[in-house]
């Protein structure tokens, strides 16, 4: 596919978790694609870092995601085969809380609607089967056997290296300062130069609102903090003994991932302190308050015993009001695709969204119903 009107067929702004998958998919199709990333590849300034990210089929948020997550599983396995490295680890997944909570009820509804095998476990049964987890009396858990985690830094690296092998050009540590339409496509200006293309994909995470003015009030970057805690009995927290988990008390959702990639079980609070921030101005150093909140919750939900804190790290969510993604073309700019607002649950879908983004950028129909992800929903 040649580009008679510019330097590239497609420019992708942001080569992180989602953008790297789009660049790979486009390059694989023979598209002349340029990826622009303001930081190093991979980096720890956005959303797709921290060694591991949860992947699960029992999707309590909305059953509409199940067809997309099923495709994402396929794409992760295809990427592993192409790259020659394991990127997805199946540990099983637990979704726990009061039996009538949105978390548990939503997971059951999704499993029933889509014929996904699952088990319901009481608090005592959960502790007996998974001794690293401690649920309050009266809580129940939905166990689904092929949940697990994916490796974000390794996934980004795989997508980028394979894209480069397929002919993609990728420039890192080059900040995009703006873009505008031209009679034949788009022009992108960076701190180092100007590039033209027929189409543009914006996958800039927390910085998307700065680049797509019409979305600035629709996207809320939010500061998150993740902890790694070394338990007294680490053997109960390995990938073969501990499933990934989410647990809700109907006010907050906490989550955890087995020991992998760094010392300690990974533990966090979904939406943490609900701190909306400017990603360029946020405090990236975790505080004593951050630590206290996470340590207290870990002591409640995990049998960590005499534990030691191994690490704290900040990251970013980019939230929409309804916590559903934005996957669409920009109003009045049909040659500009935006992939944004992944609201803390997007990276697991990277391969599928990369495919969708490539379809939109090349005018191909998507196999997925994208109506729930339209900007004007």
**117-149, pLDDT tens digit by residue?**
999 999 999 999 999 999 999 999 999 999 999
In a domain, 252, yes or no: yes
Among 295, 319, 343, where does a domain finish?
Answer: 319
Residue 79 inside a domain? The answer is no
Cis-peptide, bond into residue 293, ω within 30° of zero:
no
Contact 357, 18 (CB under 8 A): yes
Which element (helix H / strand E) includes 135? none
Counting Cβ atoms within 10 Å, is residue 213 exposed (0-12), middle (13-18) or buried (19+)? exposed
> Does residue 118 sit in the same domain as residue 172?
no
Within this chain, do residues 172 and 203 fall inside the same structural domain, yes or no?
A: yes
- Whether 66 is covered by a domain: the verdict is no
Instruction: Report the 10 Å Cβ neighbour count for 322.
Output: 12
pLDDT on residue 1? 42
Q: 311 and 327: one domain? A: no
For the residues 314-342, what does the mean pLDDT come to? Answer: 97
Span 346-366, mean pLDDT? 98
What is the percentage of the chain residues whose pLDDT exceeds 90? 96
Of the residues 319, 340, 359, the one at which a domain ends: 319
Within-domain flag for 56: no
For the stretch 15-56, pLDDT in tens is 999 999 999 999 999 999 999 999 999 999 999 999 999 999
pTM above threshold 0.75: yes
285 occurs within a structural domain: yes
311 and 342 part of one domain = no
In a domain, 78, yes or no: no
Q: What domain count does the chain have?
A: 2
Residues marked active site are found at 49, 52-53, 266, 270, 315, 348
- In this structure, the answer to whether residues 313 and 247 fall within a common structural domain is yes
**In this structure, what CATH number is given to the domain that contains residue 243?**
3.30.9.10
> Which residue range is the domain that position 122 belongs to?
92-146+220-319
Q: Which residues contact 244 (CB under 8 A, 6 or more apart)?
A: 54, 55, 56, 91, 92, 93, 94, 147, 148, 149, 255, 256, 257, 258
Domain presence at residue 74:
no
């Amino acid at each position: 596919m040649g580009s008679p009107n510019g330097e590239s067929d497609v420019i992708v702004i942001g080569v992180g978790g989602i953008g790297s998958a789009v660049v790979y998919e486009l390059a694989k199709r023979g598209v002349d694609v340029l990826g622009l990333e303001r930081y190093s590849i991979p980096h720890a300034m956005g959303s797709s870092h921290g060694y591991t990210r949860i992947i699960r089929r029992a999707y309590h948020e909305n059953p509409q995601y199940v067809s997309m997550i099923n495709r994402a599983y396929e794409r992760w396995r295809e990427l592993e085969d192409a790259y020659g490295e394991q990127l997805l680890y199946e540990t099983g997944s637990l979704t726990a809380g009061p039996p009538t909570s949105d978390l548990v009820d939503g997971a059951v509804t999704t499993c029933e609607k889509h014929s996904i095998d699952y088990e319901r476990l009481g608090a005592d049964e959960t502790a007996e089967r998974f001794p690293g987890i401690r649920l309050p009396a009266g809580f129940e858990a939905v166990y689904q056997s092929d949940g697990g985690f994916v490796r974000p830094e390794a996934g980004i690296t795989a997508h980028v290296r394979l894209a480069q092998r397929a002919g993609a050009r990728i420039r890192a540590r080059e900040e995009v300062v703006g873009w505008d339409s031209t009679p034949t496509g788009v022009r992108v200006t960076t701190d180092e130069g100007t590039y033209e293309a027929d189409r543009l994909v914006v996958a800039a995470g927390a910085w998307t609102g700065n680049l797509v003015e019409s979305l600035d009030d629709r996207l809320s970057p939010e500061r998150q903090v993740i902890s790694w805690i070394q338990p007294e009995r680490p053997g109960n927290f390995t990938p073969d003994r501990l499933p990934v988990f989410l647990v809700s008390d109907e006010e907050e959702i906490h989550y955890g991932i087995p020991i992998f990639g760094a010392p300690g079980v990974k533990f966090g609070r979904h939406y943490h302190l609900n701190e909306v921030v400017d990603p360029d101005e946020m405090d990236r150093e975790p505080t004593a308050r951050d630590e206290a909140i996470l340590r207290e919750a870990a002591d409640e939900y995990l049998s960590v015993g005499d534990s030691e804190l191994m690490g704290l790290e900040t990251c970013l969510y980019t939230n929409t009001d309804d916590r559903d993604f934005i996957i669409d073309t920009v109003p009045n700019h049909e040659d500009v695709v935006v992939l944004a607002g992944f609201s803390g649950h997007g990276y697991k879908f990277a391969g599928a969204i990369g495919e969708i983004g490539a379809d939109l950028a090349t005018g191909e129909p998507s196999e997925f119903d994208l109506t729930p992800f339209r900007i004007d929903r």
